[in-house]
Amino acid sequence: MTKSDIRGVCSPEQAVSARAGKVSRRSFLATAAAGAALSMPTVRRAVAEEKVLYVNTWGGAWEESAKDALFTPFTRDTGIEIRTVAPVSFAKLAAQVRTGVYEFDVTTLGVAELGRANQAKLIAAPEKSILDPAKLWPGAVVLDGVASHAFGNVMAYRNEKFPAPGLQSWADFWDTQKFPGSRCLQRYAGRVIPIALLADGVAPDKLFPLDLDRAFKSLDKIKPHIRVWWSQGPQSQQLLRDGEVDAIGMWNTQVQRLVEAKAPITVSWNQAVVDVAYWAVARGTPRSENAWRFVNYAVQPEPLAKFSVKNDYGPMNPEAFKFIPEDKAKQLPTWPENFKNSIVLDPAKMLPQIDEFSKRFDQWIAS
Amino acid sequence: MGSSVSRLLRGPAVLYLPAALFLLVFFLVPLFNVAWMSFTEPDTGFGNYTAFFASSFDVGVLLNTFKTAAIVTLTSLIFAYPVAYVAARYGGALGSILLLVVTLSFWTSFLVRTYAWMVILGVKGPVTAALIMLGWSPPPQILFTTFASTFAMTHLLMPFMILTLYAVMRRIDGTYMRAAAGLGAKPLKAFTSIYLPLSLPGIANGSVLVFITCLGFYVTPVLLGSPRDKMIAGRIGDEIEQMLNFGGASAMAIVLLVATLGLFALYSRFFGLDKLWR
């Protein structure tokens, strides 16, 4: 660089940074601040009984409603301040326990992640004095995760392509002879494999353990008709809205926005594959007492109802439906009418196969 | 020794100290950590590396990453060169507007621009509409192909190439070209024997910058490309976020780093790395 200075020719770094100078300086400051924030919890460990809790959130609409329904009321009642860290990162949870530096104390995990986190000893068992599983509803605590809210992987399609009665089941979704058109599914093994088995005629109660050979044979059949595998929530919405694909398996929370916008689409709740978000507390965090108080608060009927409704999640605590008007409740995955035709993913049953099917799916998709 | 240190501390070398310290803390230490993990997680030894090279899938993803980066570098060079040339050689209002347009795209995030391409190249987008109007029926699928992701990555990285080329071209003295013309050279001959060689450092700088940035691309191929367009950054991300396989992911990162350095060594052997800084 000294040479270039002498000759007066600008190096690429200089050319770029001259234009992006402000940004890189600001991002440096942000990095430095993040670094400082990262080390803060350890420094604060010495201070007894601190009134603060760090929650890992999904940001955006999720965080907005969590703030309204959960964080603000909790702070008001307990005096414990909640600071958020976004986005949710499973890898960070693992890194925290490994390094002993805690950026967040509480996070949410899906079914597949919960199994893995429990296996890798990343999350703590409930403090029974604060959150007693026996005092919640049956099945509230699984593998040390506390069930919070559910989202359905439902089938949706364009009306002009498949007029009534349209697609009724995943078998119909797979039947491209009878229902020709493009398809789309999420690039996520834990949800797609159960769907593939249902499409192949496996009874919902016979799903586990997953018959992987049969699942991949079934997936081979649909593969040529899948135009794209979606990976981001908003992307799935855009694909269906713009008619980029004719039929898609996507989250009920995302498709609900299209229903509200009166898009010409139909949503089928039949055979919805329901995934559950669990609250989990990072193992070894110095603020575990506050963390469990918060988790206990977050699954109480009233705050949970308020939180779930905003994003069209299904509350896992059945009592929450007492606080939800019926016409709204009918659109939620855990509403008894919807729930009884759904298949709920079970972390304990999926755990033994997770590594195998994730790897196999990744390679299958790229082949 | 004490005196030499104090002499060093009074000399201009001390100006390097903050940068060196920064590199040490934020670059070398984490990098060493990654390398360490690749040999120690979950077991000590070369397990992660043998697993990587035994997997035809992983090696395929690595090769595809380099192939994509090479194609993107070449196409962005082809498209960027004329733009930089016009901006540098004719300057004035046209040059300023060109550079402004290029700089503007820096203000929008990669992700937003990727989503924009989804709309433009989609079945209801203007490109498909234009093809239908031209009588192409049924219109070809553009979105979710390797072409779409390569095209979008070229667009995303072109500003780096243009600005780098411009920085070098701006310094090329216009009188050389006039002298060549005065000596009877046709414009093409003058360009190939004078302008092009003088702009070579810009081409080298820009290509290296674009190539390396492209190696780390992740979301664009996922959103726009075909399911087969997997880049190594995506594989590393999956391995950590889904599998919590820190060792395996670290090994992949080190393989990528070594492969990149190897390519640099080759480049340096044949073209001379010092060209980069001239």
Q: For residue A339, which of A210, A238, A252, A246 has the smallest C-alpha distance? A: A252
* CA distance linking residue A101 with residue B196, whole number of Å: 54
**Sign of the dihedral defined by the CA atoms of residues A330, A335, A336, A341, in that order:** positive
Record: contact A8-B171, CB cut-off 8 A = yes
Answer whether B32 touches A (CB < 8 Å).
no
Answer whether A239's CB lies under 8 Å from A248's CB: yes
What is the distance in angstroms between the Cα of A135 and the nearest Cα belonging to chain B? 33
Residues 6+ apart with CB under 8 A from A287: A41, A50, A52, A53, A54, A102, A105
Answer whether B62's CB lies under 8 Å from B262's CB: no
With CA atoms as reference, the chain B residue closest to A360 would be B57
Residue A212 has a pLDDT of 97
Residue A42 has a pLDDT of 47
**What does residue B42 show for φ and ψ, rounded to 5 degrees?**
-80, -20
- Residue A6 predicted with pLDDT over 60: no
Residue B1 has a pLDDT of 52
Q: For residue B212, which of B69, B79, B93 has the smallest C-alpha distance? A: B69
A-chain CB neighbours of B227 within 8 Å are 187, 226, 228-229, 365-366
Answer whether A90 touches B (CB < 8 Å).
yes
Record: contact A11-B167, CB cut-off 8 A = yes
> Is pLDDT larger for residue A24 or for residue B110?
B110
Arithmetic mean of pLDDT, A248-254: 95
Quick one: tokens of A225?
A: 């008709």
Residues of chain B under the 70 pLDDT cut? 1-3, 271-278
What is the distance in angstroms between the Cα of A228 and the nearest Cα belonging to chain B? 6
Residues 6+ apart with CB under 8 A from A104: A54, A55, A56, A85, A92, A93, A96, A282
Residue B205 has a pLDDT of 86
State the best of A359, A364, A365, A367 to mutate against chain B, taking most chain B CBs within 10 Å.
A359
Record: contact A116-B119, CB cut-off 8 A = no
The model's confidence at residue A98, banded by pLDDT at 50, 70 and 90, is: confident
A-chain CB neighbours of B141 within 8 Å are 227
A302-345: per-residue pLDDT in tens? 999 999 999 999 999 999 999 999 999 988 999 988 888 889 99
Answer whether A6 touches B (CB < 8 Å).
no
**Sign of the dihedral defined by the CA atoms of residues A104, A105, A110, A115, in that order:** positive
ipTM of predicted assembly, 2 dp: 0.75
* CA distance linking residue B145 with residue A271, whole number of Å: 31
B-chain CB neighbours of A227 within 8 Å are 141, 144
Q: For residue B169, which of A169, A293, A10 has the smallest C-alpha distance? A: A10
Quick one: tokens of A315?
A: 């509350």
Residue B274 has a pLDDT of 62
- Residue A26 predicted with pLDDT over 50: no
Record: contact A235-B223, CB cut-off 8 A = yes
Answer whether A34 touches B (CB < 8 Å).
no
* CA distance linking residue A135 with residue A132, whole number of Å: 5
Answer whether A40 touches B (CB < 8 Å).
no
With CA atoms as reference, the chain A residue closest to B276 would be A11
With CA atoms as reference, the chain B residue closest to A359 would be B243
Residue A9 has a pLDDT of 37
The model's confidence at residue A67, banded by pLDDT at 50, 70 and 90, is: very high
Residue B16 has a pLDDT of 86
Answer whether A154's CB lies under 8 Å from A179's CB: no
B-chain CB neighbours of A112 within 8 Å are 242
The CB-based long-range contact list for B95-102 (8 Å cut-off, 24+ gap) reads B99/B163, B99/B166, B102/B158, B102/B159, B102/B162, B102/B163
Residue B32 has a pLDDT of 95
Answer whether A29 touches B (CB < 8 Å).
no
With CA atoms as reference, the chain B residue closest to A23 would be B107
A-chain CB neighbours of B278 within 8 Å are 3-4, 7, 9
What are the CA-CA distances from residue A362 to residues A144, A295, A357, B242 (Å)? 28, 34, 8, 11
> Is pLDDT larger for residue B155 or for residue A3?
B155
- Residue A44 predicted with pLDDT over 60: no
Quick one: tokens of A115?
A: 């199994």
What is the distance in angstroms between the Cα of B163 and the nearest Cα belonging to chain A? 6
Answer whether A224 touches B (CB < 8 Å).
no
Answer whether A252's CB lies under 8 Å from A267's CB: yes
Residues B64, B69, B73: CA angle, nearest 5 degrees = 150
Please tell me which of the candidates A14, A94, A359 has its beta carbon nearest to residue B244. Answer: A94
* CA distance linking residue B173 with residue B198, whole number of Å: 10
Answer whether B232's CB lies under 8 Å from B223's CB: no
Arithmetic mean of pLDDT, A2-29: 38
B-chain CB neighbours of A120 within 8 Å are 244
Residue B270 has a pLDDT of 74
Tell me the β-bridge partners of A152: A274
Record: contact B123-A228, CB cut-off 8 A = no
Taking only residues 61 to 120 of chain B, the set having a beta carbon closer than 8 angstroms to any beta carbon of chain A reads 61, 103, 106, 115, 118-119
Quick one: tokens of A126?
A: 């409930």
* CA distance linking residue A362 with residue A219, whole number of Å: 13
Record: contact A12-B238, CB cut-off 8 A = no
Q: How far is CA B150 from the centre of its chain?
A: 12
Record: contact A90-B228, CB cut-off 8 A = no
* CA distance linking residue A12 with residue B110, whole number of Å: 20
State the best of B105, B117, B163, B210 to mutate against chain A, taking most chain A CBs within 10 Å.
B163
Please tell me which of the candidates A9, A355, A359 has its beta carbon nearest to residue B171. Answer: A9
Tell me the β-bridge partners of A150: A276, A314
What is the distance in angstroms between the Cα of B240 and the nearest Cα belonging to chain A? 6
Output the pTM of the full model: 0.80
* CA distance linking residue A29 with residue B18, whole number of Å: 15
With CA atoms as reference, the chain B residue closest to A88 would be B241
Q: What would the DSSP string read from start to end of A55-72?
A: EE---HHHHHHHIIIIIH
Kindly state the DSSP code that residue A263 receives in the 8-state scheme.
Answer: -
Arithmetic mean of pLDDT, A86-113: 91
State the best of B25, B106, B243, B275 to mutate against chain A, taking most chain A CBs within 10 Å.
B243
Please tell me which of the candidates A16, A19, A363 has its beta carbon nearest to residue B57. Answer: A363
Arithmetic mean of pLDDT, A173-198: 96
Please tell me which of the candidates A116, A243, A358 has its beta carbon nearest to residue B123. Answer: A243
Answer whether A46 touches B (CB < 8 Å).
no
With CA atoms as reference, the chain A residue closest to B121 would be A244
Residue B272 has a pLDDT of 66
Residue A260 has a pLDDT of 93
Record: contact B243-A10, CB cut-off 8 A = no
How many CA atoms, within 13 angstroms, populate the side-chain half-sphere of residue A37? 12
Record: contact A243-B228, CB cut-off 8 A = no
Answer whether B124 touches A (CB < 8 Å).
yes
Q: How much helix, strand and coil, in percent to the nearest 5, is found in chain B? A: 80, 0, 20
Query: How many other C-beta atoms can be found within 10 angstroms of the C-beta atom of residue B57?
Result: 16
B-chain CB neighbours of A367 within 8 Å are 57, 228
Least confident of A20-24, A246-250, A283-287, A295-299: A20-24
Answer whether A122's CB lies under 8 Å from A284's CB: no
